[in-house]
Amino acid sequence: MRNVTDLNFPLCLAPMVGLSHVALRRLISDYMPQNASTHWPTEMLNSRRVPGENLKTTPETLRRDEEVYLVPQILGNEEIPIQKAVQRLVNEWGASGIDINMGCPVQKALKHNYGVSLMGDVNYAAQVVAMTKKVSTVPVSVKLRAVGSEKSVPQLITFVQQLVDSGADWITLHPRTAAQKRRGQSDWSQIAELKKAVKIPIIGNGDIQTADDVVLMINETGADKVMAGRALAARPWMMWQLGEKLGFASAAHLHGRRAPHTPVEEGAEYGRSLLKLIEYSEESFMQVAGASESLTLRKMQFYIRTTHVWLEFGHTLMAMCSRAQNLSDLKIQVACFFEHEQAMYPRTELRQ
Ligand SMILES: Cc1cc2nc3c(=O)[nH]c(=O)nc-3n(C[C@H](O)[C@H](O)[C@H](O)COP(=O)(O)O)c2cc1C
């Protein structure tokens, strides 16, 4: 992959700690249309830890051999750890690109002056891109947030221009401010302004809940591609729905079926895909040295906590699943909940 625009499908998953792991990527890729390709993020990886970790057994860096176009996201601001991490991820692990996190607003990232705090220092942020580019043989991107003041758009453009001058190959913009975290409205006009102002590809992110939203964001902003986080985790078949809209043939194993569209069809698909995700998570995480069933259970409970909000009776599902003591218990609770017809809303208010 020379750049993200080499790939022909306009939707990708967002990097999300605890969610964008090998099992969820596998579930979402099951719904990818035939001959469609997109890039795949990972959970955020700390550049100080990657150099010393076993990448084959650390849950965050587990990957399947058949995965392609993986673009791991790193967090960091120091040259040596960044370079060692990038070298390992590219040469040993098979990354097709490297994404730098400049959007993480958690206290720990602020304390160490990385994540979103890099956005407070243009020169330093540009240096982080330059140090990554110096060692990377694959494209380097940056994911950032809105700046969030009256002067925000010109400031954002100046900031991004410096990253472009330092070699950034594409930018992903999540136009919520650090103060908004992941709530409130995402300001798509900033994606449009940025797209007009810079020459590299722009990926837009924020407030995407349905396949229609993907098309709307591209039409409204001119973004080269769209990234979806929570809703794509909840509705992995958004890939299938979007593929149908864009005229792609459905995946061979789905051939002859129409993508789910009504609330009841989507409710049933959520149940089926949740059971698949448990199976995929078991296959991946139970093999990790030292990993216990409780790691897989915790990951699944976190997935349900994030995605249940689209289900009409999601709180009931969450309460049932949070009481599960082990995976077989969890599967029983899920199967029991989905014995009854369930509805999934196209949209919900995003609070977490
Ligand atoms: C649980 C969770 C973890 C996240 N972790 C990261 C992260 O590690 N790196 C990052 O750049 N963004 C992270 N994000 C933000 C998402 O990538 C995305 O920008 C945000 O959720 C908005 O997109 P959405 O409305 O489609 O979910 C995280 C979001 C969630 C919900």
pLDDT at res. 100: 96
Distances (CA, A) of 239 to 223, 261, 300: 18, 13, 21
Q: Which of 24, 116, 173, 174 to mutate to test the pocket of ligand 1 (most atoms within 8 A of CB)?
A: 174
Distances (CA, A) of 101 to 143, 219, 220: 5, 26, 25
In order along its 352 residues, the chain shows pLDDT tens digits of 889 999 999 999 999 999 999 999 999 999 999 999 999 999 999 999 999 999 999 999 999 999 999 999 999 999 999 999 999 999 999 999 999 999 766 666 556 666 666 777 889 899 999 999 999 999 999 999 887 665 689 999 999 999 999 999 999 999 987 677 666 788 999 999 999 999 999 999 999 999 999 999 999 999 999 999 999 999 999 999 999 999 999 999 998 899 999 999 999 999 999 999 999 999 999 877 666 788 999 999 999 999 999 999 999 999 999 999 999 999 999 999 999 999 999 999 876 5
Q: How far is the CA of 15 from the centre of ligand 1 (A)?
A: 6
Question: Atom 10 in ligand 1: which residue has the minimum CA distance?
Answer: 15
Distances (CA, A) of 235 to 171, 240, 275, 337: 25, 10, 14, 18
Q: Which of 16, 203, 214 to mutate to test the pocket of ligand 1 (most atoms within 8 A of CB)?
A: 16
Q: Where are the domains of the chain?
A: 4-246, 254-337
Query: 4-246 belongs to which CATH class?
Result: alpha beta
- How far apart CA 47 and CA 52 sit, in angstroms, is 10
315 dihedral zone (left: phi>0; alpha: psi -120 to 50; beta): alpha
- How far apart CA 68 and CA 139 sit, in angstroms, is 14
DSSP 90: I
Q: Taking Cα atoms as reference points, which of 145, 148, 149, 150 lies closest to residue 160? A: 145
pTM of the model: 0.95
pLDDT at res. 269: 98
pLDDT at res. 179: 72
pLDDT, tens only, 177-222: 767 766 678 899 999 999 999 999 999 999 999 999 999 999 999 9
pLDDT at res. 188: 94
pLDDT at res. 314: 97
pLDDT at res. 193: 96
